[in-house]
Amino acid sequence: MYDVIIRGGDLIDGTGRERRKADIGIVGDRIATIGEVDGTGGAVIDASGRVVAPGFIDVHTHLDAQAFWDTTLSPSPLHGVTTAIGGNCGFSISPLGTDPDDGAYLMRMLSRVEGLPLATLEAGVPWNWNTTAEYLDAIDHTLSINTAFKVGHSALRRVVMGSDATRRRATPEETTHMCELLRAGIEAGAIGFSSSWSPTHNDTEQNMVPSRYADRAELLALSAVLAGYPGTSLEFIAGVGPFSDEIVELMADMSVAAHAPLNWNVLAVNHKNVEDSLAKLAAGDVAARRGGKVVGLTAPMSLDFRLSFASGFLLDSVPGWEEVMLLPLEDKRAVFADPEQRARLGELALARHPVRRFTHWAKMVIFYTVAPENQGYLGRTIGDIAAELGRSPWDTICDIALADDLQTSFGHPSIDEPVEDWQARLQIWRHPHAVIGASDAGAHLDMFVSANYTTTMLGQAVAKHALLSMEEAVHLLTQVPAELYGLRDRGVLTEGAYADVVVLDEVMVSSNPMEMRADLPAGAARLYADANGIDRVLCNGVEIVQAGSFTDARPGTVLRAGVHTG
């Protein structure tokens, strides 16, 4: 007697091997039988004409806070994700100190670096834990999918150093205290440690985030904590642009100190930057020669960015803009309203810099407005609007944004990416030092949609362009990320494995377009996209998605180091 039988599908087991016709019999949360399943089941799923694959594993999310107000962790499961890993970039929300200011600081920081509305964090998260153990226990068995979390460096620094976390290096005693807190988090089940030196990571108080004040010695001391705990991992954000020798050596030494793999974020690939991408992946060769393992997370698609002067994220990378982008909203408004200050920012935006493509104002499209007088600008380029008004594109976007209280959303028009970009990405996906991931699901909610990377990859690279087989694509989305994190009995469909399963239509699988959806606590809106062709999703043997809609089931487990990893 089975609890669930999946009959008649094309089984793609996640290993990369060719598909075969096979039924699956599930008992409890495990796969009991694969082959010709005789007998009856409490539920029988007809998978005829469909692919049956392991649930997809998203190794880089920021769903830590969303877990409290959205137990489905939408929209990720609609795109076939059954396991998500959070606590990345040093931005976990545990541990918390006993000082209420610690939680308040983390909320403000997350609102800045991860694009989570402050009002949503205040209304939707209880902030009633202190330890990592208490946080993990609070969400265990409450969610639709499996989750695992790392302990973030910025949280550790804030607990140990208070406001000094964004002022100076740690003393040896403070580093020891951070190591003790990290060790307690790992023993409670956290699956690793994350940190960031990225220049795009700043808080709302015009400071770098806490982890950016750490030196090499502090990072290596914290990494070394993991050495005693098999099944743990490191994640690090080095910054933008090419890696310096210092960064390459640091990541290698962190991995060696931890006796664990380190993954860095993020590698965005197109046909113009393949050689640069390969040069960054060479950091893995340096680590390997020292006995470590360093891999880059690569986003399998480009993102349609939606920018705003209110959040300032990404635009703060324009040289000379960072200080203004960190200002409180009213002060920032005053800068954009001042002719001299506005002219200064406009001149800086025209210079050569790493994000120059996002300051070609005339080419940008208006996607979201607030003020009634701006409604007619939706879907139009700033250049066309400027020509109509007889003004410069820069003054035009500034005036529109001021009327919207700087909430105007703008970005490049969405286009079908050329096949050359997908061919370039395939070369990187197959690289031994690259892993598909980097979704950032749960973050930058007004800036881009990323939780749909699985269906976008399958719909474009496999179904549309036929660049790789469905078998290989599923392997890259399942077994490869599972092995990076040492997840036991997940990422493949074999007898005895956990029954995390996706039933999909390989012809129709794709992501729907982005839309704004006002479903966050405190009435805030986010960008959202659901999927086509994902018929069924099971997590731990229980259906969580049927025909593109969530069920009421919440069978997800918090995956803990040493218990579910090894």
Give the residue-averaged pLDDT of 275-296: 98
* CB-based contacts of 342, cutoff 8 Å, min separation 6: 335, 336, 394, 395, 398
DSSP result, 1-56: -EEEEEEEEEE--SSSPPPEEEEEEEETTEEEEEES--S-EEEEEE-TTSEEEEPE
Q: Give residue for tokens 């976390």.
A: 165
Number of separate helices (H) and strands (E) present in the chain: 19, 24
pLDDT for 172-208, tens place per residue?
Answer: 999 999 999 999 999 999 999 999 999 889 898 889 9
> Which pLDDT band holds residue 441 (cuts at 50, 70, 90)?
very high
Residues 93-130 as b/e (b if ≥16 CB within 10 A, e otherwise) read bbbbbeeeebbebbbbbbbbbbbbbbebbbebbebebe
Contact of 9 with 39, CB cutoff 8 Å: no
Report how far residue 132's alpha carbon sits from residue 155's, in angstroms, rounded to the nearest whole number: 10
Q: What SS3 class is residue 352?
A: coil
* SS3 (DSSP) at 463: helix
User: Which has the higher per-residue pLDDT, 515 or 506?
Assistant: 506
**Residue 433: pLDDT band by 50, 70, 90 thresholds?**
very high
**Residue 107 contacts residue 204 (beta carbons within 8 Å):** no
- Output the pLDDT for position 326: 80
Q: Is the pLDDT of residue 151 over 90?
A: yes
Quick one: pLDDT at residue 314? 83
- pLDDT recorded at residue 386: 98
List the domain boundaries for the chain. Answer: 56-304+415-489, 315-411
What does pLDDT average to over the chain? 96
What does pTM read for this prediction? Answer: 0.93
Residue type, 149: F
What is residue 170's predicted lDDT score, i.e. its pLDDT? 98
Q: Which helix (H) or strand (E) is 266 found in, with range?
A: strand 262-268
The fold of 56-304+415-489 is TIM Barrel (3.20.20)
| pLDDT, tens digit (0-9, with 9 covering 90-100), for 98-142 | 998 889 999 999 998 999 999 999 999 999 999 999 999 999 999
